Structure 1
Amino acid sequence: MLTRRKLLQSAALGVVSAVALTPGPATAISDVTSEQARAIAKEAYIWGYALVDDHRIQYSYFIDTTNPEYKGPWNTIGHNTRLYTPADTTIQTINSDTLYSFIGMDVRDEPIVISVPDVDPARYYGCSLFDLWGHCDMFGTRTTGNDAASFMVAGPGWKGETPANIKKVFNMETTLGSAAIRTQLFNPGDIENVKKVQSGFKVQTLSAFLGRPAPTQTKVNFIKPLTVAEQKSSLLFFNVLNNLLQFAPTHPTEAELKARVAKIGIGEGKIFDPASQSPEMKAAIEQGMADAWVDISATAKKLDTGEITPGDCYGTRAYLKNNYLYQTTAIYLAGNAQPKEEVIYPFVALDSDGKPLTGKNHYTIRFAGDKLPPAKQFWSITMYNLPQRLLVANPIDRYLLNTPMMPNWAKDADGGYTFYIQKVSPGPDKEANWLPTPEGPFYMVMRLYLPSKEAQDGLWKAPKPERLS
């Protein structure tokens, strides 16, 4: 039973703890110096950002039934039957190429089974399976084909047998996660066909799949998430992280890291209360968060210039090798994403002179006929405003240029394409090749679905926008 002091702390911090978790009292940090606390806070922030930001999205999609973007409860499937627009604001840098189906995966008590129908071999689909850390595994067109099949997703402690009619088992590191199924839309008139494909997607608990009694369900309430802006500076970031660590068992490679961050009150079952800290210690931890953002911003610049690519920042733990800085930077900029074998995401943030893009200028971006983006499936270039990184409202409701639009584009003499990147129409004869911008800062993200090996390795480079005089 919680003491009155703990109840007051929980109310002050906005804490709603899991039934299985009884937090200890918040305590002042006393066994490290302020300099040590600053360094640990920086490390803990970069390490924990993916967990905290993923909770923000999961809370909107699977927990908060009042949210206009709510998809449904855990272990059910919610379909988007339209493309994303600027009205969708939960996920930054969302695509508007494919229709989505979402699953909030709760595998604390038992695995779940995701079943898919036969999908036309010409139509791409891919199911991304994300744990709370943002590590991604896949099934779909590239990895398992388009035949009907069932796939099982299990938590880190599951030891049961695999049913004979399960094509593949995926073991998550965390007991909560999410799945995003992308289904290709060939053109606007194809949307009813995509809805038919979506209607064949099914999710069940393993017990329901086998027709057996369900195990006792462990009930859980969830801590209220922070907004993207609050995540950048609020010390309550660490309290949200503490609450979420109950769903993320310690990975063997993180044992030493978790021992370090525990020195400043970070760990499962702990409460991090800023009011319990001395002014000196509170300032040190705030500075550690600021230090983290210095490194994140520097890494973002490397993505802008192409020194590193988004393909370096997404994938499994084995692929990322615990590079939390790369992963956190990419998640902040573009959310969770798929590994580079599935999709690459060249960022287009600077013009040919190395200057940031802004709607105050007019640009062209040209793809020569022999240098179109090398994608086996399809490619696109999508507009996002800054700093929000959301789709941009415009008079023609066009948020991207992609392969299905190709029949309408005006070709250059060599068979390539020149696109007009500007706020106002370039004129009726060029409007098919126009991607509208916001008034202020923006950036664009390319997507190459099933990219060539050259593109995966960063040898193919997206052209830079040329600023018109």
Structure 2
Amino acid sequence: MQLEKAPRLILASLSILLSGSTWANFTATPEEARGIAKEAYLYGFPVVEMYKTLYTQAVDTTSENFKAPFNKIGNTAKAFTAKDTAFVTPNADTPYSFIWMDLRAEPLVLTLPPIEEHRYYSVQLIDAYTQNFAYLGTRSTGNNGGHFMIAGPNWQGQQPVEMDRLVRSESNIAYALFRTQLFDDKDLAKVEQIQKGYKVETLSHYVKHKAPPAAPEVAWPKPTPTMSDTPDLFRYLNFMLAFAPAQDAEKDLLARFAKIGIEAGEPFKLTDFTADQRQALEDGISDAKAEFAEFKKTKVDTHEVSSGDFFGTRDHLNGNYLYRYAGANMGIFGNSSEEANYIGYFVDKDGQPVDASKHDYTLHFDKGALPPADAFWSLTMYDGKNKLLVANPLNRYLINSRMLPDLKLDADGGLTLYVQQKAPAEDLQSNWLPAPDGPFYGVLRLYLPKPEVASGQWKMPLLNKVGP
């Protein structure tokens, strides 16, 4: 009997090998796989969400969101509107410039022009994990401009003596996101002129040396509609991890992920998994989403944690992948706390989710208690369903500190903003922030926040529901 079974087992094993099944690298039990999938989803979601933006801005030349090919700069000499869909929760105060950086062959040199002292600007440098590894600009390097070299993890060359700073990225694919403050519509021409002064070039071009061999061509996989919500996410994660060498602190974690087929540069084919294995991955993703939903309800909506916890360097995040996930889910590419503070308005003062189809709302600042920021502040409206700016008859997406001379103050010198779907009375419309006919959220941004924000001395106001 045993002799009869042996050949069948050998044939079955050969069949698995010849079919290319991933059983060989899916070694976890279904129960173990569920737990690993939950961890891997939280870990990988920001990476894959970043890839979606990379693809639409730097790869897909037919996309309406395409900005420029790799290692070239794309400028948008206007603030974002409801028509811009490249990433969720964009700001509409600062026209963007974009550089998707491929650092495999050699570093890039970013040149920034001198900018007038009273105008805020920044260059946020983001690695493949959505970690903010450095900043250039008003706060970090000043408004005098300069030359800044961005190098990948494997570069071993010499920094030119005239370079103002060398910055290292832990991934070979990275993002430079420029923000240039726009004062008003009349200021667009000046912003456009500033953007023309932003330059990017390879190090070899900058020092006028022979260029090194080009990096291999990349076959960028086309995004799918469900890639961020299903186990298909792990296929894109494997692809992106090939550009991000494993960090020593994460080698054990990545070895655990390998038990369900997550490995840098390796294929990930769901069709090769058993039904139980696929179900385990789906259940793990559901567990991760449930954990985030509870976290958002109990910690984010109650302001127990803030955006400053979600964005920053690897050291700042310190292995908290739920926080990194939260940042990517609610507003990817958010600033580090020292650069900007974000306050999300998802609920009213009674803790109820805000919905402009059911209620009108007000946000009141006492006299002398406007948001304390050295650069500027703004309150921006977003649709709760798609997380994008809200189309409205005024084309008004925000109210910010530059608009204060045109806003109507209360009798006591305070400021009340009207957050609602329909226009308020005519004498109040200067203070109206149009909301969608349904769920929404607002984000109060403080650029270069003053110390009293971090210390808690300044107390944020809450949204008040109007009427019963």
> Is TM more than 0.5 here?
yes
Aligned mates of 2:191, 2:115 — CA distance in 1: 10
Counterpart Cα distance in 2 of 1:311 and 1:25: 45
Q: CA deviation at 1:26?
A: 4.8
The one-letter amino acid of 1:189's match is: K
TM-score normalised per structure 2 = 0.93
The aligned counterpart of 1:12 is: none
Aligned equivalents of 1:226, 1:190: Cα separation in 2? 39
Mean alpha-carbon deviation: is it higher for 192-201 or for 26-35? 26-35
Between structure 1 and structure 2, the one with the greater Rg is: 2
* Distance of 1:347 and 1:169 partners within structure 2: 34
The aligned counterpart of 2:382 is: 384
Deviations 1:145-195 (A, max 9, x none): 000201111001111111112111110010001111101111211111111
1:458 deviates by 4.8
Equivalent of residue 188 in structure 1, options 180, 185, 200: 185
What residue is the counterpart of 2:11 in the other structure?
none
Q: In the alignment, which of 259, 262, 265 is matched to residue 261 of structure 2?
A: 265
Match of 1:288 in 2: 284
Output one character per residue of 1:208-261: Cα deviation in whole Å (capped at 9) or x when no partner: 11111211112212112244x5411x2211111111111010011100001000
TM-score scaled to structure 1, two decimals? 0.93
Query: Which residue among 22, 28, 47 is the counterpart of 1:27?
Result: 22
Deviations 1:387-411 (A, max 9, x none): 2110000111100001111110001
Structure 1 range deviating more: 172-181 or 28-37: 28-37
* 2:413 corresponds to: 415
Aligned to 1:166: 163
Deviations 1:321-365 (A, max 9, x none): 011110111111111111100001100111111111111211111
* 1:106 and 2:95 matched: no
CA distance in 2, matches of 1:177, 1:400: 29
What's 1:362 paired with?
360
Aligned residue type for 2:40? A
Aligned match of 2:464: 466
Determine the structure 1 residue equivalent to 2:426: 428
CA distance 1:63–1:455, shift in 2 (3 Å)? same
The corresponding residue for 1:15 is none
SS across alignment from 1:253: helix
Q: Deviations over 1:262-309 (max 9, x none)?
A: 011100132221111111111111100111111121222211110111
Contact 1:97 1:185 in 2 (8 A): yes
- Give 3-state SS (helix, strand or coil) of 1:129's partner: strand
Equivalent positions of 1:8-407 (< 5 A) are 25-28=20-23, 31-136=27-132, 137-218=134-215, 219-227=217-225, 229-232=226-229, 234-301=230-297, 302-360=299-357, 361-407=359-405
Measured in 1, the distance between the counterparts of 2:335 and 2:307 equals 10
Aligned partners of 1:165, 1:415: CA distance in 2, in Å?
A: 52
Counterpart CA distance in 1 for 2:55 and 2:209 is 30
Q: 2-side partners of 1:144 and 1:457: how far apart? A: 25
- What is the 5 A alignment of 1:448-459? 448-459=446-457
SS in 2 for 1:264: coil
Is 2:58–2:100's contact at 8 Å kept on the other side of the alignment?
Answer: yes
Deviation at 1:25, TM superposition (A): 4.4
Shift of 1:369: 1.4
How many angstroms apart in 1 are the aligned matches of 2:247 and 2:349?
43
Q: Please state how far the C-alpha of 1:312 moved relative to its aligned partner.
A: 0.7
Question: Structure 1 409/30 Cα, relative in aligned 2: closer, same or farther at 3 Å?
Answer: closer
CA–CA separation in structure 2 for the residues paired with 1:155 and 1:133: 14
Whether the 8 Å contact between 1:25 and 1:271 is mirrored in structure 2 is no
Q: Which amino acid aligns with 1:97?
A: D
Q: Structure 1: which 5+ residue stretches go unaligned? A: 1-23
Verify the 8 A CA contact 1:26 1:271 in the aligned structure 2.
Answer: no
Contact 1:112 1:206 in 2 (8 A): yes
Alpha-carbon shift at residue 444 of structure 1 (Å): 0.3
Whole-Å Cα distance in 1 between the matches of residues 412 and 173 of structure 2? Answer: 51
What is the Cα deviation at residue 459 of structure 1?
A: 4.9
In the alignment, the residues of structure 1 paired with residue 196 and residue 211 of structure 2 have an alpha-carbon distance, to the nearest angstrom, of 25
Does the 8 A contact of 1:135 with 1:316 survive in 2? yes
| Residue segments in structure 2 that go unaligned for 5+ positions in a row | 1-18
CA positional deviation for 1:109? 0.5
Question: Per-residue deviation at 1:457?
Answer: 4.5
SS in structure 2 at match of 1:346: strand
Indicate conservation of the 8 Å contact 2:108/2:200, yes or no: yes
Distance in 2 (CA, whole Å) between partners of 1:308 and 1:32 is 34
Paired residue secondary structure (1:247): coil
8 Å contact from structure 2 (residues 26, 261) kept in 1 = no
Residue type of the partner of 1:445? Answer: V
